[in-house]
Amino acid sequence: MSCFNSVLQAATSQGVDRGELMREVGIEPHTLRATNARLPVAQLLKLYRLAQEKTSNSDLGLDVGRISFFQGLNLHLYMTTICRNLKEYLNVIPSVIKLRGDLGRVLIKAEGDFIRLEWRPLDSATNHTRHLSDEMLCSSALIVGSICSRPVPVYAAEFSYAEPDHLDALIDTFGSRLTFDCAVSCLYFRRDCLRFPLINLDYELGVEFEATLRSLFQEVDTQDSFLSDLGTVMRRSLPSGGLSIDSLSTDMGVSRRTLQRRLTDRDTSFKYLLQNLREELSLHYLADPRLSITEIAFLLGYSDQASFSNAFRAWCGCSPSEHREQGKGGGNRPSNGDN
């Protein structure tokens, strides 16, 4: 529900009555607090339309994009601890964008001396909707521009909607190279930024990030450097959702047979290590009320919240939300929802 809450927050900050706006759109307060609730895209578009009418702000999508960026800041910072450069980080953006709901995807493509970050809505009928394009591109630009140790400005921006009457806010956000009535909305960055290292944090992120993967595997065998190195690679690959024994063997620089033999020699298996890693990390993530259940699911490499919830129930005998409600996870999640 984060996409709905972001729009409501942007409208409220500009003097709109939140309760009145929700009533006009037909949103019940309890729905926004429900971790498993889903609302149709048409209802989000209606919310955007009414919010713009009440605020008289055609740049509302840019405001929502900034709010979305800061709402997910803890997630962006976490990614800097498992990715070495911008290229590795961008590889997980298609998974992260799902946290905004089933609205669409962000695709990364190489194009000459540039990389092209495209917003692709799932519903083609919304391709020319300005608010969604502005929100997604603004949030993406802020992410890319904030996590690198060197500045990464937007080189140019293209939009699928017609040129608006006023461009000041768009220029402030994306620069002066703007093109409208394009096939898709996208951003261009210089390709050499892919090699830029990410920021290194000089402080702890909090209880959910207390245990590094190395220390988790050292609890099994503090003298086994192979398991420690294996754990580092697994943690780095987990959020992308593509972790398998084949991808792990490639990342480790060994054959699948060699990897399986080394695991067998240690009386363990890939499946066992993956399950233990996910179970251990899930408890740390659930201890942070800022992380939604959906965010945790993607951080652990699951394709959706339901898969994570089913696995967690098998580990702990209850759902992730029940675990939090029972006080085992460090408190209940605040009411800004999951989707």
Residue ranges of domains in the chain: 1-57, 61-203, 207-325
The yes-or-no verdict on residue 334 having pLDDT over 80 is no
Question: Can you state the angle between helices 270-286 and 225-237, rounded to 10 degrees?
Answer: 60
From CA 54, how far away is CA 18, in angstroms rounded? Answer: 11
Do 183 and 160 touch, CB atoms closer than 8 A? yes
Residue 34: the pLDDT is: 55
Provide the β-strand partners of residue 116. 109, 188
Backbone phi and psi for residue 199, each to the nearest 5 degrees, phi listed first: -65, 150
* pTM score over 0.85: no
Please report, in angstroms and rounded to a whole number, the separation of the first and last CA atoms in the chain: 3
DSSP secondary-structure letter at 333?
Answer: P
Residue 217: the pLDDT is: 32
Residue 337: the pLDDT is: 37
- Residue with token string 């699911």: 297
Residue 148: the pLDDT is: 93
Average pLDDT over residues 268-280: 90
For residue 204, give every residue at least 6 positions away whose Cβ sits within 8 Å of its Cβ, in sequence order, or none: 210
Q: Is 127 exposed, middle or buried (0-12, 13-18, 19+ CB in 10 A)?
A: middle
Structure confidence at residue 99 as a pLDDT band (50, 70, 90):
low
Q: What's the one-letter identity of residue 245?
A: I
Backbone phi and psi for residue 187, each to the nearest 5 degrees, phi listed first: -120, 150
User: How many C-beta neighbours within 10 Å does residue 121 have?
Assistant: 20
The yes-or-no verdict on residue 12 having pLDDT over 90 is yes
The yes-or-no verdict on residue 60 having pLDDT over 90 is yes
For residue 165, give every residue at least 6 positions away whose Cβ sits within 8 Å of its Cβ, in sequence order, or none: 58
According to CATH, the topology of domain 207-325 is Arc Repressor Mutant, subunit A (1.10.10)
